Amino acid sequence: MTRTGSGRIHIVQRIDDAAVTELAAAYEVTVGYGPGAVDLDDVIGDIDVLVVRNIQLDNAVLDRARRLRLIVRAGSGMEGIDVVHARERGVEVVSTGGANARSVAEHVVALALAVARSVVRWDQIAREGGYGRRDEDPGQELFGKRWGVVGFGQIGREVAQMARDGLGMEVVAHVRRPPTEPAVGVEISYDLGTLLETCDVVSLHVPLTEETRGMIGPAEIARMRSSAILVNVARGPVVDADALLSALERRAIAGAAVDVWDGPFPDPPHRLYDAPNLVLSPHRGGRTREADRAAGVVVVAHVHEALRPSMSNPMPTSSTEKSV
């Protein structure tokens, strides 16, 4: 195969196959997964671009990256990468944040509905032959109720639109500073406590920072309605895990759904798996075929921009959830 550019790329975790094929047509590509997987340690000193999904990239590894010019995160957020250290070494760090916004937003709505209607529990009851129990414990509708969006970046905006236009809900968004884009049909709130007290669904869409770590703790959960649902697809440490489990066990809130946890999901047995009306998914919110393809397109564009700067490709916009 005749390559159209020069440069070496290592892709640590699986990304869209079409993106890999396109990159391999232009550059020398190695991958860290599947048949013929190459370990990062074996190539770190000879690559120009590193593509990752979720990785803890030690600075000692970065210090061995003699040629590295670019790190692309196929996802949003930069956890696990010391961006300051990388840039001090002349390595740019970018993400594909926003490429999976619609997929994440759909997942958020699906999780909220699953909790509101106890979908997972009723699936299990049906599988166990419990058809005769169908009149127990009616669920709740979301139509006409109030959805609180905490963090109003691209994902938060998608969720707000779906809740407002698809479910007929009132939507309020909590931000720390005025949004840069108009918030049509969405109430803006700068007071998190008031949002928690007045909303029936609260979904979290903030990056993990020192300000957001533990932002939903015992005091915040205590302010939520007993009929409220909490959905976390942001980062695990944004929510105090013990406080959430305690609230569910005491039925202080109606339910919760989490796509992330504070660290890896614990091995069973664990009280997490006994908590009532809790729906779990293992950080899958942004994983759809469409989102993978969209992220792959952005990865390819970033690589072309770094390795073939004379091309006419505009630098893609990589965004994360900045407006919180």
Write out pLDDT tens, residues 63-110. Answer: 999 999 999 999 888 888 999 999 999 999 999 989 999 999 999 999
The whole-chain average pLDDT of the chain stands at 92
Q: pLDDT class for 275, splitting at 50, 70, 90? A: very high
The confidence score (pLDDT) of residue 6 equals: 83
Do both 94 and 111 map to the same domain?
A: no
Do both 105 and 87 map to the same domain?
A: no
The confidence score (pLDDT) of residue 318 equals: 45
Q: Taking residues 274-302, report their average pLDDT.
A: 96
What's the whole-model pTM score? Answer: 0.89
Say which residues have a Cβ less than 8 Å from residue 99's Cβ, sequence separation at least 6.
291, 294, 295, 297, 298
Q: Which residue has the tokens 């509905």?
A: 113
Residue at 318 is within a domain? no
Residue at 109 is within a domain? yes
Which DSSP state fits 163? I
Asked if pLDDT for residue 319 goes beyond 70, the answer is no
Residue at 298 is within a domain? yes
Do both 226 and 82 map to the same domain?
A: no
Per the rule left: phi > 0, alpha: psi between -120 and 50, beta: everything else, 194 is alpha
Domain of residue 54, residue span:
8-99+288-307
Do both 254 and 118 map to the same domain?
A: yes
Domains contained in the chain, number: 2
Q: Taking residues 107-134, report their average pLDDT.
A: 95
The residue among 245, 261, 280 that closes a domain is 280
Residue at 264 is within a domain? yes
Do both 43 and 115 map to the same domain?
A: no
* CA distance linking residue 228 with residue 243, whole number of Å: 15
Do both 91 and 145 map to the same domain?
A: no
* CA distance linking residue 142 with residue 229, whole number of Å: 10
Do both 200 and 273 map to the same domain?
A: yes
Q: pLDDT class for 320, splitting at 50, 70, 90? A: very low
CA angle 228–233–235, rounded 5-degree value:
115
Do both 134 and 225 map to the same domain?
A: yes
The confidence score (pLDDT) of residue 97 equals: 85
Residue at 322 is within a domain? no
Asked if pLDDT for residue 293 goes beyond 90, the answer is yes
Residue at 319 is within a domain? no
Q: CATH no. for residue 88?
A: 3.40.50.720
Do both 205 and 227 map to the same domain?
A: yes
Residue at 146 is within a domain? yes
